[in-house]
A and B are shown apart, each in its own frame.
Chain A
Amino acid sequence: MSQTTEKVRKTLARRYRAEKRFKAFGLGAIGIGLMALVLLFTDIIGKGHSAFVEYEIQLPVTFDAEVMDVSDPRDEEQLNYGNYQGVIRDALADRFPGVESRLDTRALNQLVSTGAGYALRDMLREDPSLLGETRTLWLLADDDVDLFLKANEKQREDSRLNEKQQAWVAELEASGETRMVFNQSLFSYGDSREPEQAGILGAILGSLFTMIVTLVLSFPIGVAAAVYLEEFAPKNRFTDFIEVNINNLAAVPSIIFGLLGLAVIIGLFGLPRSVPLVGGIVLTLMTLPTIIISSRAAIKAVPPSIRQAAMGLGASKMQVVLHHVLPLALPGMLTGAIIGMAQALGETAPLLMIGMVAFIVDLPAGPLDAATVLPVQIYLWADSPEQSFESLASAAIMVLLAFLITMNTLAVILRKRLERRW
């Protein structure tokens, strides 16, 4: 046996060990990546799932005309200024007799959400004959009560409720006078200072209008630009310059687009702040490179034989493009557009710059109404000190991720279904 072979044999075990170690590192790296993903999702779901339900408290409420100061429920003005909190206060006092001191009474009244009064008003509007009647109603609990009821034994020790309040709520819970229902307000209201009345509908509508503006602007412009660059552009400095610009824009930090929106679209053109129209324009500029690049790839994938055949039959260049290339490239372009839209939907930073970060309670009715979008709403809630907003933010994230997953799945399906392999 030669010396070299001997040497190799001696080191072989060590080398194989190194090989195994290296492979394990690789596997570990993938493991870390996937674990981060799983951790992220479980954390969000763990925090957010409780926001999809909320607690209500059962109370026999008397629609007392005198307490409410409503003599005619058909009079809209009286109805709007009615003292519904007073009726609820009375109901609570009846349910827990013996609460005397002002401090305790106030603590007791805090059990029911301030939004419950509006529910009473709406009921009275629906059915004026309720005036003077007593009904057993389920009223929305305050967010601290809600958190207390959702918490386990150990978490309950850190509750923001004081001891008396905890005792009252525990009594209600034990006697079955609390119940868990689906959190409807989450999907039917805009933002609110009160967590139990806050919803994401306003943000979803804002996102919708912003996305519509983005799609309407970016898809035609992106496709037209891609067609020009692929089919018509002469090979010259100007075209090269356009290409360099597109590639660089794709890598510009999104916040810079926000600065552009603030300085040019709001500052120079004088469009209003905080509106989906401006947000849509900014996101259009941001997603255009993505759409142009993917549209160009789709156009490139159409084989030259198609063009040659059409030209051979006497079609003009424009006819070749509009009648043959574009329809064949459309699935690929749509896929690119959906992916670009998904990016735009999750974008936050540029929208902060153009003022879509305001506290807006009203639901936007169009792209010129002040609005916020889903990611910004998440940011706002994550920054709020109250604990309930944390789970609301998680719930909003779950909704946002659901939208994104749907869009990306759609893109994958579209690509599989429609894209032709030549």
Chain B
Amino acid sequence: MQTGNLLLLLVVMVAGAYYLGLRRSFALARPLGGIRHLHSLPFYFAMRSAMWCALPALVVLGLWLAFDDSIIRQQVLASLPAELQPTDASSYNLTLSKIQNVASGALPVNFVEPPIAAAAEHLQSLRQTSAMALTVVVIVLCMFGGAWAWLKVSPQLRARQQVERVLQTLFMLCATVAILTTVGIVMSVLFESIRFFGKVPVTDFLFGLQWSPQTALRADQVASGGAFGAVPLFMGTMLISAIALLVAVPVGLMSAIYLAEYASKRVRTVAKPALEVLAGVPTVVYGFFAALTVAPFIRGMGESVGLDVASESALAAGLVMGIMIIPFVSSLADDVITAVPQAMRDGSLGLGATKSETIKKVIFPAALPGIMGGILLAASRAIGETMIVVMAAGLAANLTANPLEAVTTITVQIVTLLTGDQEFDSAKTLAAFALGLMLFITTLVMNIFALHIVKKYREQYD
């Protein structure tokens, strides 16, 4: 039976268990003189039955679906004669896809060796057996669970407590998804990175000045080694982020100051959400804007004054990225500026300082730690931003500090390494995960540091 149908059947059976549980609790309550003689409301008895019916079956179903494919695969491969046994990872994949294609009918049987055809048949039959066994097991579990719960219904049963405990456990499991995600991220980038560093030494990666990840498919091709020195990528990322911050910090900070200190309430209610729209625009739109409008414009400007500007200059990507992070800087700065106690303003103004002097000499220094935190957060955004640079920055790993030249960034390289033709297990593919690890660590450290500053600063005035 198909999984979808099985799930549907499960829903029906659970509903049935619920109904039977409800009926039985009422039936038990009647001779006692009404449901007030039961320990819990009938709803809880019914829920308990439904849970007993559903949960064991669902757990088994989930585990089964997660692991049956790999188990069947191993069984099928083990059934192959010795000379067809795959020796390395790529031949493993090849043999497997051959068998699967024969099994699905995409590859005619007479195209392959007889053992492969036999294996395909074996695969088919194993799959059928697995699906059938799964159906039987799930239905049996469902019925036994439901029957068990039905039999256990009694006036003294503490059904509400049991149902609530299960619910609370479910809630807790949902909360741990956050931990699992972090663990998953760390594991996925770490393991592949370790494999990458097994092929390319860490020092070469961190301090190498040459980045050309094109590894050759055959050993006799030129440049078969590939170079994985990530310094040009780090520099490119920093260059573009620096340009972005150069745009975003003054503009964001000054707008925040104006909105917090000068603007009338009317201006504030219009300008603030309008600026925040900038944060809601998808990054792919900024990328489009940068690649097709800003970059040609800058190139044209450069040409008119006799400068040679690359068509994928760091300046275009940086400028547009700067626009994107203006609202991050401004809203965070706005928060910290308004958090500065009014008494400090009053004191300064009372001594005869003008408003701008108060802002520059009193409020700004007081808000500085918070503002620094905000800028750090914005910087980590800029470093991790992908679409703008993928569309507007180049692929060539130039080691330069000239904003008019094309540079490439960590995120651009991750995307190009993983969206092209992938070779299983090659240093090229694994390099993307090593870059991901660098990116994750960098942004994580920046975020923790920034949040720490902001938090410490808040406590100061609270």
Nearest chain A residue, comparing its CB with the CB of B179: A245
> Could you say which residues of chain B place their CB within 8 Å of the CB of A26?
254-255, 257-258, 261-262
Contact A249 B181 (CB under 8 A): yes
Nearest chain A residue, comparing its CB with the CB of B385: A253
CB of A352 within 8 Å of the partner chain: yes
Contact A400 B387 (CB under 8 A): no
Contact A15 B258 (CB under 8 A): no
> Could you say which residues of chain A place their CB within 8 Å of the CB of B283?
346, 348-349
CB of A414 within 8 Å of the partner chain: no
CB of B90 within 8 Å of the partner chain: no
> Could you say which residues of chain A place their CB within 8 Å of the CB of B415?
255, 349, 352-353
Within 8 A of A (CB), among B149-187: 160, 164, 167-168, 170-172, 174-179, 181-182, 184-185, 187
Residue in A44, A228, A342, A383 whose CB lies within 8 Å of B171: A228
Nearest chain B residue, comparing its CB with the CB of A43: B293
Q: In the assembled complex, how far is the CB of residue B345 from the closest CB belonging to chain A, in whole angstroms?
A: 15
* Segment of B121-129, B216-224, B303-311, B354-362 in the binding face: B354-362
> Could you say which residues of chain B place their CB within 8 Å of the CB of A29?
250-255, 258
Contact A37 B160 (CB under 8 A): no
Q: In the assembled complex, how far is the CB of residue B278 from the closest CB belonging to chain A, in whole angstroms?
A: 6
* Complex: A318 Cα to B159 Cα, angstroms: 13
* Complex: A383 Cα to B416 Cα, angstroms: 13
Within 8 A of B (CB), among A272-293: 285, 288-289, 292
The 0/1 profile, CB within 8 Å of B marked 1, for residues 213-254 of chain A is 000000011101101110011000000011001111101111
CB of A406 within 8 Å of the partner chain: no
Contact B443 A349 (CB under 8 A): no
Residue in B326, B419, B447 whose CB lies within 8 Å of A251: B447
Contact A23 B262 (CB under 8 A): yes
CB of A40 within 8 Å of the partner chain: yes
CB of B54 within 8 Å of the partner chain: no
Within 8 A of B (CB), among A4-52: 8, 15-16, 18-19, 22-23, 25-30, 32-34, 36-37, 40, 43-44, 47
Q: In the assembled complex, how far is the CB of residue A387 from the closest CB belonging to chain B, in whole angstroms?
A: 10
Contact B181 A379 (CB under 8 A): no
Contact B414 A404 (CB under 8 A): no
Residue in A247, A263, A347 whose CB lies within 8 Å of B433: A263
Describe A's contact surface by its main secondary structure. helix
Contact A397 B285 (CB under 8 A): yes
CB of A140 within 8 Å of the partner chain: no
Contact A241 B171 (CB under 8 A): no
CB of B292 within 8 Å of the partner chain: yes
> Could you say which residues of chain A place their CB within 8 Å of the CB of B414?
255, 259, 353
CB of A375 within 8 Å of the partner chain: yes
Residue in A33, A348, A404 whose CB lies within 8 Å of B280: A404
Residue in B189, B274, B287, B354 whose CB lies within 8 Å of A37: B274
CB of A67 within 8 Å of the partner chain: no
Contact A288 B293 (CB under 8 A): no
CB of B451 within 8 Å of the partner chain: yes
Known: A15-B357, A225-B178, A379-B387. A30 touches B258 (CB 8 A): yes
CB of A142 within 8 Å of the partner chain: no
CB of B289 within 8 Å of the partner chain: yes
Nearest chain A residue, comparing its CB with the CB of B326: A33
Contact A288 B444 (CB under 8 A): no
> Could you say which residues of chain B place their CB within 8 Å of the CB of A222?
174
Residue picked from B179, B282, B286, most chain A C-beta under 10 Å: B282
CB of A378 within 8 Å of the partner chain: yes
Contact A30 B275 (CB under 8 A): yes
Q: In the assembled complex, how far is the CB of residue B282 from the closest CB belonging to chain A, in whole angstroms?
A: 3
Nearest chain A residue, comparing its CB with the CB of B271: A30
Contact A248 B277 (CB under 8 A): no
Chain A interface residue number, banded: 35 or more
Chain B: residues with Cβ within 8 Å of the partner, total of: 89
The 0/1 profile, CB within 8 Å of B marked 1, for residues 382-397 of chain A is 1100000010011001
Known: A37-B278, A229-B175. A256 touches B167 (CB 8 A): no
Contact A253 B386 (CB under 8 A): yes
> When A and B form their complex, what is the total count of cross-chain residue pairs whose Cβ atoms lie within 8 Å?
253
* Complex: A270 Cα to B447 Cα, angstroms: 33
Known: A32-B251, A242-B178, A262-B418. A316 touches B164 (CB 8 A): yes
CB of A269 within 8 Å of the partner chain: yes
* Complex: A16 Cα to B70 Cα, angstroms: 76
> Could you say which residues of chain A place their CB within 8 Å of the CB of B172?
228, 232-233
> Could you say which residues of chain B place their CB within 8 Å of the CB of A285?
177, 181
Contact A242 B176 (CB under 8 A): yes
Known: A256-B440, A264-B188. A33 touches B356 (CB 8 A): no
* Complex: A249 Cα to B440 Cα, angstroms: 10
Residue in B170, B179, B262, B271 whose CB lies within 8 Å of A224: B170
Contact B289 A227 (CB under 8 A): no
Contact B289 A228 (CB under 8 A): no
Known: A18-B354, A255-B439, A256-B189. A349 touches B285 (CB 8 A): no
> Could you say which residues of chain B place their CB within 8 Å of the CB of A248?
182, 444, 447-448
* Segment of B107-115, B365-373, B376-384, B398-406 in the binding face: B376-384
Contact A253 B443 (CB under 8 A): yes
> Could you say which residues of chain B place their CB within 8 Å of the CB of A267?
188
* Complex: A121 Cα to B439 Cα, angstroms: 53
CB of A298 within 8 Å of the partner chain: no
Contact B174 A249 (CB under 8 A): no
Within 8 A of A (CB), among B263-297: 271, 274-275, 277-278, 280-289, 291-293
* Complex: A241 Cα to B179 Cα, angstroms: 8
Residue in A33, A221, A269 whose CB lies within 8 Å of B275: A33
Q: In the assembled complex, how far is the CB of residue B68 from the closest CB belonging to chain A, in whole angstroms?
A: 10
Contact A288 B178 (CB under 8 A): yes
Contact B285 A40 (CB under 8 A): yes
Residue in A247, A270, A292, A400 whose CB lies within 8 Å of B451: A247
Q: In the assembled complex, how far is the CB of residue A156 from the closest CB belonging to chain B, in whole angstroms?
A: 20
CB of B69 within 8 Å of the partner chain: yes
Contact B188 A263 (CB under 8 A): yes
Residue in A22, A37, A357, A408 whose CB lies within 8 Å of B419: A357
Contact A16 B174 (CB under 8 A): no
> Could you say which residues of chain B place their CB within 8 Å of the CB of A393?
288
Residue in B66, B356, B380 whose CB lies within 8 Å of A23: B356
**29 intermolecular pairs with C-beta atoms under 8 Å apart:** A23-B356, A26-B262, A30-B254, A30-B255, A30-B271, A34-B271, A40-B289, A227-B171, A229-B175, A242-B175, A242-B178, A248-B444, A248-B447, A251-B443, A252-B444, A253-B443, A256-B440, A259-B188, A259-B418, A263-B187, A263-B188, A267-B188, A270-B70, A285-B181, A288-B178, A317-B164, A348-B284, A349-B387, A408-B280
9 closest pairs, A vs B, by CB? A253-B384, A26-B258, A346-B282, A263-B188, A29-B254, A22-B356, A224-B174, A349-B386, A228-B171
Supplied contacts A34-B274, A251-B443, A318-B164, 6 more A-B pairs, CB within 8 Å: A37-B274, A37-B277, A43-B293, A245-B181, A318-B167, A348-B284
